[in-house]
Chains A and B, each alone.
Chain A
Amino acid sequence: EIVLTQSPGTLSLSPGERATFSCRASQFVSSNYLAWYQQKPGQAPRLLIYGASSRATGIPDRFSGSGSGTAFTLTISRLEPEDFAVYYCQQYGSSPRTFGQGTKVEIK
């Protein structure tokens, strides 16, 4: 099983600031099958990025993903008020399709 470790656990930032999230895998993620999700309280997750760097349909270009192998990054170039939420990475290249434990972005 591939274990995904996200850091930091919490980010305290202000609107307009840049947010950077890390996701490290315990093993190589095949074909860069790495996705990022945003989840707000009481809602289902929303797919932001797949294939490590491809934005899903309708996702603003302030969201970008990068990385390969075992180290991946999600960046939000300028935080909007609606971006304060929890972010999860997930690998879907092998079963089980594991999730990271999440990073919470809170308003500073």
Chain B
Amino acid sequence: QEQLVESGGGLVKPGGSLRLACAASGFKFIDYNINWIRQAPGKGLEWLSYISPSGGAIFYADSVKGRFTISRDNSKNTVYLQMNSLRAEDTAVYYCARELRPYFEILTGFYVWGQGARVTVSS
């Protein structure tokens, strides 16, 4: 079964840091781009970041550029999101997701999603 599982969420004070992990199983991890998306309470979806299979291509949304860092460890089938200088507006459920097809086929939307990791930024 193709699966992504996020971990590392929690309560953090403004200005603090947190590292989320996204562990993959059931598919060939090195063949897929991975993305992070978040959803603030009662709000819509916000794409945050993308990493290619090799880690050679990385993109960020402007809202997190310079504060968040995406990385991956293909030996552990895991993608990370290091979040620094956290603000109240970063409070959200954070999802990792991968596309329907591997990177060498056509681009598609996000087919496999994790269950989400809740991050609360509050003093």
A96 within 8 A of B: yes
Please classify the interface of chain B as helix (H, G, I), strand (E, B), loop, or mixed, using the class held by over half of its residues. strand
Digit string of A1-12 for contact with B (CB within 8 Å is 1, else 0)?
A: 100000000000
Q: Kindly state whether residue B53 has any CB partner on chain A within 8 Å.
A: no
Q: CB distance B44 to A56 under 8 Å?
A: no
Q: From the candidates B44, B62, B106, B108, name the one contacting A99 in the complex (CB within 8 A).
A: B44
Q: Does B113 contact A (CB under 8 A)?
A: yes
Bound form: Cα–Cα A97–B44 in Å: 14
Interface size on A, residues (CB 8 A): 29
Q: When A and B form their complex, what is the total count of cross-chain residue pairs whose Cβ atoms lie within 8 Å?
A: 71
Contact between chains at B100 and A93 (CB < 8 Å): no
Number of interface residues of B (CB under 8 A): 24
| Given A56-B100, A96-B61, CB of A47 within 8 Å of CB of B111 | yes
A6 to chain B, nearest CB (A): 9
B50 — which chain A residues lie within 8 A by C-beta? 95, 97
B107–A33 CB distance below 8 A: yes
Interface pair A57/B111, CB less than 8 Å apart: yes
B35 adjacent to chain A (CB < 8 Å): yes
B115 in contact (CB, < 8 A): yes
Contacts of B46 in A (CB 8 A): 99
Besides A44-B115, A56-B111, 16 other A-B contacts (C-beta < 8 A): A35-B109, A36-B109, A39-B45, A45-B45, A47-B100, A47-B108, A47-B111, A50-B100, A51-B108, A56-B108, A57-B111, A95-B59, A97-B35, A97-B50, A98-B47, A99-B44
| 11 A–B contacts, CB within 8 A, in A order | A45-B45, A47-B110, A50-B100, A51-B106, A56-B100, A56-B108, A57-B111, A90-B45, A95-B50, A96-B60, A99-B47
Chain B residues proximal to chain A, CB less than 8 Å: 35, 37, 44-47, 50, 59-62, 95, 97, 100, 106-111, 113-116
- Tell me the A residues contacting B by CB distance below 8 Å: 1, 31, 33, 35-37, 39, 44-47, 49-51, 54, 56-57, 88, 90, 92-93, 95-102
